[in-house]
Chains A and B, each alone.
Chain A
Amino acid sequence: MASSVLTSEYAGATRKRGPRALQGLPFVLPYLPLLIVFGIAPTIYALDLAFTDVGGGWVGFHNFVRTYDDFRFIPAFKHVLAYTSVWLGALMVFVVGLALLLHGRANRVSATFRFLFYMPGALAGSAAVLVWLFMLDPSVSPGSFLLHHVLGADIFAQSIAPGNLPFIFAMIAFWTGAGGWIVVMYGALNTIPHDLEEAARIDGAGPIAIALRLKLPLIRKWIAYMVILSFATGTQLFVEPQIVQTASFGLVPDTWSANQLAYQLAFRYADFNGAAAIAVDLLVIGLAAAVLIVTRGGLFRAED
């Protein structure tokens, strides 16, 4: 492989520095204990809970079957599927589109807009939802004209009608999350060597052709990275439906999303095994999507 050849060359050239791989270690080490304590250990615990019962005895797939039969399971996963599709679609199209647009602009204008896009992301998730609760209530929203004509809503209960919810939550999540990803994509676009752009321009390519046929394929891997992380975040939706549920006096069910159902099972019914089964379901879905994108998108393939 090309990279290992380079490594051995460097190693030969500067004996004192040591293998390049080890230089990253001091940056990774502080994160490792946190990863283990808050990431890996709870995952293993959840796997253990998902296959055992309250007393700790092995029950195989019983918890999975039992939670699947719960009357709220299928609706929750349907909602999450609808929401994730809308959200990922919006992310891929608008984030990449906006990043490409910004990249073609003059630096100061671009910097201002990057800042403006990033700002909503600085709000904590729940604060963002509170802002949206006002935006979605036609009697107090500055955008009531849009609510009336786009959603057909004259009262708050109509804005949050069951059919609108995946779009509403996707809008809220997009508003807070997109800015960060636009900045990342912009950074990715900056890695493209200027010579390639110059060459393309000399060959007669217009700005749209440069964006779509030169830049876009070169940031494929960052888009894949964004899709993997966003898919995981999307399927684990919790904050938005939970807050809208309270604010709407129960018009939105408290088990709208799969994560909410896991929360209710754990903390209302004390059924930690069932909750763990749902958590493992979400983990498997996220991993499957990640594996699919990595293998199809060639995320870890070295440059060819």
Chain B
Amino acid sequence: MKMHRRAFTLVTLVAVAAAALISASTSGASRHVGASGSITVWVDAVRLPVAKLYAKTHPNVHVNIVTFDGDGNGATTMQTKIQLWNRTGHGWPDVIFSEQANDPVWMAQKPFDFALNLNGVFPKNLLKGWPSPSLAQCTVNGQLVCLQDNLAQEVLYVNKKLMTQFGYTVPKTWQQWAAIGQKVAADHPGYIIGNIGDSYGAWLYLWADKCPISQVVAPNTVRINSTDSHCTRMANLLDPLIKSGVVPPESVFTADFATKWGGDNDKILMMPGPVWYAKDIFSGTLHVPAGELTAATPLRWNDEPLVTGQVGGGPWIVSKHSKNVAAAIDFVKYATTSLAVKSKVDALSPGYPSYGPDASVWLTSLDKDPYFAAPEGPAFKAAANLIWKGWSMVTYPDQPVWSNTVVTQLVAGKTLSSLLSAFGDGLAQNAQAAGYKVVRK
């Protein structure tokens, strides 16, 4: 009898204690709305520090981090991976970062059907912080399928020290820029005013001049007119510059580029480039000495309205198949809006944050950074709203077509004007293979 009573008391005590503990933890969880459990995130090398920082500051969440090529330069890694996961029925990561702004377009559609609709899941008050063109770029069939990590508007980088030394004024138009190029070729050979060998060369020069080679004009129909006057006039402007060597067909990411024009040689006079070049590329990759560079507003064509191009601005995508949407959203929220990530110009945030409030803090840090000769913030901010809207995101990458039809031939000595037609053909073939109807006019 005594035994039973003692056992009974013990059991009751344990039960009560357990109930108290459980209720405490659940009410604690609802108080914090804390993320927990585990998620898998796929990031590129540049976003790896952000993922690691999240894992460190959120011990309740077990984060499996996988690095991949980020679909950089038009690679189709994610397409092959998602196909495989769909086919086997498991393996999807919870969050993916892609370097390709195009990726969410096909990720949101069949047969991939991967991206989660963030409307209703991502905190609405935070969404207001994104510029509307950025949200528009991430909207496919009415659904918000991604969030841009950083904006990537193109500006004109200028080496203030060299410009002053040579006595040139900062150009405002493409024509003035080309004229300086002619002078540089004659008076200061070896110096460059830009480059055209990167896989996104078309975005820097053709997008910035409204060349209609990626323009969705109707559902599943894309205009690819590479012989439009906007394209041919830019090619005509560039040809003599490419020939004389002031706009070489080489990529900033090659060792050769850094050796020839960066570092001690310090031969980059000007360079059209996206805002994420700021410190990451010029200081980190090319080792241009401090105190020389600044940014100017992008170039305009004569006196036409000012537009500029865009180079990337990678999106974060959350998986539809995620078993831990709360933690996935928490991760994306941290990566895009947390000041721990976005407040300084450093490895955690090399590019201009898309989230407006963070962008202001980042720009302040940028303007104070002693690496630059003059604040780059004003030019960056001005260019953010100038991206030409006539270039649409499509389901196929155009970078590989530019690389292997245009850049290889520029390296062999051909002119850009002679290659525009073949470039357009290559784009059209890829568009058709991806299921688009193509309009060539």
In angstroms, how far is the closest chain B Cβ from the Cβ of A253? 5
Q: How far is the CA of A270 from the CA of B435 in the complex (A)?
A: 13
In angstroms, how far is the closest chain A Cβ from the Cβ of B86? 8
In angstroms, how far is the closest chain B Cβ from the Cβ of A239? 16
CB under 8 Å from chain A, chain B span 392-441: 399-400, 403-404, 407-408, 411-412, 429, 433
Binary contact readout B41-84 vs A (1 if CB under 8 angstroms, 0 otherwise): 00000000000000000000000000001001111100110011
CB distance A161 to B412 under 8 Å?
Answer: yes
Q: How far is the CA of A162 from the CA of B414 in the complex (A)?
A: 14
CB distance B69 to A139 under 8 Å?
Answer: no
CB distance B79 to A268 under 8 Å?
Answer: yes
CB distance B403 to A250 under 8 Å?
Answer: yes
Binary contact readout B248-265 vs A (1 if CB under 8 angstroms, 0 otherwise): 011101111001000000
Residue B273 at the chain A interface, CB threshold 8 Å: no
Q: How far is the CA of A252 from the CA of B408 in the complex (A)?
A: 9
Residue A157 at the chain B interface, CB threshold 8 Å: yes
Q: How far is the CA of A254 from the CA of B71 in the complex (A)?
A: 13
Given A157-B407, A250-B404, A270 and B83 contact (CB-CB distance below 8 Å): yes
Residue A155 at the chain B interface, CB threshold 8 Å: yes
Q: How far is the CA of A263 from the CA of B81 in the complex (A)?
A: 12
Please tell me the size bucket of the interface on B: 20 to 34
Residue A190 at the chain B interface, CB threshold 8 Å: no
Residues of B contacting A: mostly: helix
In angstroms, how far is the closest chain B Cβ from the Cβ of A49? 14
- Please indicate which of the listed interface residues A157, A158, A263, A270 has the most CB atoms of chain B within 10 Å of its own CB: A157
Q: Which residues of B contact A140 (CB under 8 A)?
A: 255
- Please indicate which of the listed interface residues A248, A250, A251 has the most CB atoms of chain B within 10 Å of its own CB: A250
Q: Which residues of A contact B400 (CB under 8 A)?
A: 250, 253-254
CB nearest to A153 among chain B residues: B411
Residue A236 at the chain B interface, CB threshold 8 Å: no
- Please indicate which of the listed interface residues B73, B74, B408 has the most CB atoms of chain A within 10 Å of its own CB: B408
CB distance A71 to B250 under 8 Å?
Answer: no
Q: Which residues of A contact B198 (CB under 8 A)?
A: 249
Binary contact readout A235-250 vs B (1 if CB under 8 angstroms, 0 otherwise): 0000000000010111
CB nearest to B407 among chain A residues: A251
CB distance A251 to B255 under 8 Å?
Answer: no
Q: Which residues of A contact B255 (CB under 8 A)?
A: 137, 139-140
In angstroms, how far is the closest chain A Cβ from the Cβ of B110? 10
Total A-B Cβ pairs within 8 A: 72
Given A161-B412, A246-B69, A251 and B80 contact (CB-CB distance below 8 Å): no
Residue A145 at the chain B interface, CB threshold 8 Å: no
Residue A31 at the chain B interface, CB threshold 8 Å: no
Cβ-neighbour of B404 out of A137, A138, A252 (below 8 A) = A252
CB distance A264 to B76 under 8 Å?
Answer: yes
Residue B197 at the chain A interface, CB threshold 8 Å: yes
In angstroms, how far is the closest chain B Cβ from the Cβ of A24? 39
Residue A269 at the chain B interface, CB threshold 8 Å: yes
CB distance B79 to A249 under 8 Å?
Answer: no
Q: How far is the CA of A251 from the CA of B83 in the complex (A)?
A: 25
CB nearest to B254 among chain A residues: A156
CB distance A249 to B251 under 8 Å?
Answer: yes
Q: How far is the CA of A71 from the CA of B73 in the complex (A)?
A: 21
In angstroms, how far is the closest chain A Cβ from the Cβ of B330? 32
Q: How far is the CA of A252 from the CA of B407 in the complex (A)?
A: 11
CB under 8 Å from chain B, chain A span 254-272: 254, 263-264, 267-270
Given A157-B197, A250-B404, A254-B400, A70 and B433 contact (CB-CB distance below 8 Å): yes
Binary contact readout A93-123 vs B (1 if CB under 8 angstroms, 0 otherwise): 0000000000000000000000000000000
Cβ-neighbour of B80 out of A158, A161, A246, A268 (below 8 A) = A268
Q: Which residues of A contact B75 (CB under 8 A)?
A: 246, 250, 254
Binary contact readout B85-118 vs A (1 if CB under 8 angstroms, 0 otherwise): 0000000000000000000000000010000000
Q: Which residues of B contact A139 (CB under 8 A)?
A: 254-256, 259
Q: How far is the CA of A155 from the CA of B69 in the complex (A)?
A: 23
CB nearest to B111 among chain A residues: A270
In angstroms, how far is the closest chain B Cβ from the Cβ of A271? 10
Q: How far is the CA of A254 from the CA of B199 in the complex (A)?
A: 14
Q: How far is the CA of A161 from the CA of B411 in the complex (A)?
A: 8
Q: Which residues of A contact B84 (CB under 8 A)?
A: 267
Question: Could you list some 5 contacts between A and B, CB below 8 A?
Answer: A157-B411, A249-B73, A249-B199, A250-B74, A268-B76
The 3 A-B residue pairs with the shortest CB-CB distance, nearest first, are A250-B403, A267-B80, A250-B400
Q: Besides the contacts A249-B73, A250-B73, A251-B404, what 13 more A-B pairs have beta carbons closer than 8 Å? A: A139-B254, A155-B254, A155-B411, A156-B254, A157-B407, A157-B408, A158-B412, A246-B69, A246-B75, A249-B251, A250-B404, A251-B403, A263-B80
